[in-house]
Amino acid sequence: MFYLRTKLISFQIQNLGVKGGSVKKSLLNEGVKQSKQVHSKLLTRQYHQGLVYNGESLGISNVLNGLYSTKYVARTSPNLVAGISNFSTTVGTSATVSTDDTSSINKVPLDADLLKKMKNDLVLADVNKDGRIDAEELKIILKKYPDTFSDIDVVKITDLFFVAKGGESVSHEQFINAISVAMGNDLHDKEQGGDEQGFGGYPLGLGRCGAEYTYGKIREAYTPEELDVKVTHIPPVTKKDKLALLAVRIVRVCFDTVSLWNFGEVTQAKIFRRVIFLETVAAIPGFVAALVRHFKSLRNFSRDGGMLNMFLDEANNERMHLLTFVRMRNPPKIMKYIVLVSQTFVGAGFLILYNISPDFCHRFVAYVEEEACHTYTDIINHIENAPEGSDLIPWRTEQAPAIARGYWRLPESATVLDLMYVVRADEAEHRDVNHICTGLKEDQISPFYNPDEKFDKVLKKYVKELMKVKDGTVSS
């Protein structure tokens, strides 16, 4: 969407014969702003729901529909299908095509029967008989429908409600109004936002304070669709984008030449040399971004909107890649000194650049992650198509290290090949996150924390469950 929108704006500029830089910049910024508004309606990765690509010109059906053009279709490793959870760590949005069955509910009128069931649930859960519902009473309602809400779901949902409301309760009328709005109806005026609180924009008045401290991910297994990563590229639009892409391409050519990546046979040793060094560098930008944002939040006495937590998680994710690979091969001592030198220059350089232009840095990282997806796709292809006698063949059956199986929630039978699939999925997530974060305003909340969207999804599931009960399709 971002690319298509900015292309359209560029086309409009040309037709208007606009040559003034200020007008062009204004129009481009408007395109970025509008695209960010679309992309900001995101659900997050314990929180996120999947990197699912479809068709020729899409990227992520649940994240940035229409953002990328597909150039390579990778196969999903069949060994990961068993024992995989429905939760993941990639990005998702309710604004685009979704595989979640709640997306099929568009506008559902709340008839007298449905309203009666809702009110009955609220009354039965109202322990203190005050005509209001709090997090603990919401838990009672959700536990009535175990086929829809698991114990883990109940904990996450009620925690979201408690954090977003700051421990407060809402009236039964307000709660039913929120359900009505979530289902596309207007039982009461949505903009009124409740009867006694006067909240604007959302009936339950869910706050955004939780973004500052509730981002911590629970890493759960990738789905097969999320492992089906496409190698994609977002063409640069601004001068900063072009400069970032040029810098990444120069670095890629230099490193490929020094590491002899494109010369000779690809072996385990060559792969380890490459990925171990790259992961030591890849873990730097996220940490530096979080550091800068942390210091800025302290000196300005202001919130960060959950961004620094997200970048800390990204840095730690790259570190887990490194810790996994060094469990498989112990690097030589000289590697430590090489890493020390690279950390000094890359860390200091990125720190300076991030204070000057965060947008440039995020676009640079996004392009680096595009190259990382290329690299891991090449590695997967080399493993799957290794010729007879290659030392890559054992990786098709060799068990992945325990640290990897625990971190990515892989089954006991997961192989090194499976490990490469999940690492590539991580890199694709970092790629997409940094592309999205380019151009966000300084005071904007993280696009991956939206309690309104998350709770709307819960309410839709609740109504769907009530409809099943009404139709007699569920017996519990």
pLDDT in tens, 263-300: 889 999 999 999 999 999 999 999 999 999 999 999 99
Residue 296 forms beta bridges with which residues? Answer: none
Residue 435: per-residue pLDDT: 95
Q: Tell me the C-alpha distance between 317 and 186, whole Å.
A: 43
Residue 133 forms beta bridges with which residues? Answer: 170
pLDDT: is 290 or 203 the higher one? Answer: 290
Give me the long-range contacts of 265-273 (CB less than 8 A, separation at least 24).
265/390, 266/378, 266/379, 266/382, 266/392, 267/390, 267/391, 267/392, 268/329, 268/391, 268/392, 268/395, 269/329, 271/379, 271/382, 271/392, 272/325, 272/328, 272/329, 272/331
Q: Tell me the C-alpha distance between 325 and 288, whole Å.
A: 23
111-122 tens-digit pLDDT: 788 888 889 999
Nearest to 113 by CA among 472, 467, 473: 467
Task: Sort 335 into a burial class: Cβ within 10 Å, 0-12 / 13-18 / 19+.
Answer: middle
Structural contact between residues 61 and 54, judged by C-beta atoms closer than 8 angstroms: yes
For the chain, the average pLDDT equals 76
In this model, does residue 96 exceed pLDDT 90? no
Confidence of residue 25 (pLDDT cuts 50, 70, 90): very low
Collect all residues with Cβ–Cβ distance below 8 Å to 350 and sequence separation of at least 6. Answer: 284, 285, 288, 361
Q: Tell me the C-alpha distance between 447 and 211, whole Å.
A: 10
Where would I find the beta strands (DSSP E) of 146-289? 170-171
Nearest to 313 by CA among 348, 282, 286: 286
In this model, does residue 45 exceed pLDDT 50? no
- For 353, the token pair is 């650049």
In this model, does residue 68 exceed pLDDT 70? no
Q: Are strands 170-171 and 132-133 parallel, antiparallel or unpaired?
A: antiparallel
Domain boundaries, the chain: 104-208+454-471, 235-448
Q: Tell me the C-alpha distance between 466 and 120, whole Å.
A: 12
Annotate 58-118 with DSSP letters as a single string: -S-TTTSTTS-----BPPPPGGGSTT--S-BSS-EETTS---SGGGG-------HHHHHHH
Nearest to 183 by CA among 99, 104, 121, 113: 104
Q: Tell me the C-alpha distance between 470 and 476, whole Å.
A: 13
* This prediction's pTM: 0.69
pLDDT: is 130 or 77 the higher one? Answer: 130
Q: Tell me the C-alpha distance between 246 and 358, whole Å.
A: 17
291-324 tens-digit pLDDT: 999 999 999 998 888 888 899 999 999 999 999 9
**Superfamily per CATH, domain 235-448:** Alternative oxidase (1.20.1260.140)
Mean pLDDT on 355-374 = 96
pLDDT: is 144 or 447 the higher one? Answer: 144
- For 454, the token pair is 């998350």
Mean pLDDT on 213-232 = 82
46-58 tens-digit pLDDT: 333 333 333 333 3
Give backbone dihedrals phi and psi of 93, rounded to 5 degrees, phi first.
Answer: -145, 145
In this model, does residue 347 exceed pLDDT 70? yes
Confidence of residue 143 (pLDDT cuts 50, 70, 90): very high
Residue 472: per-residue pLDDT: 54
Collect all residues with Cβ–Cβ distance below 8 Å to 344 and sequence separation of at least 6. Answer: none
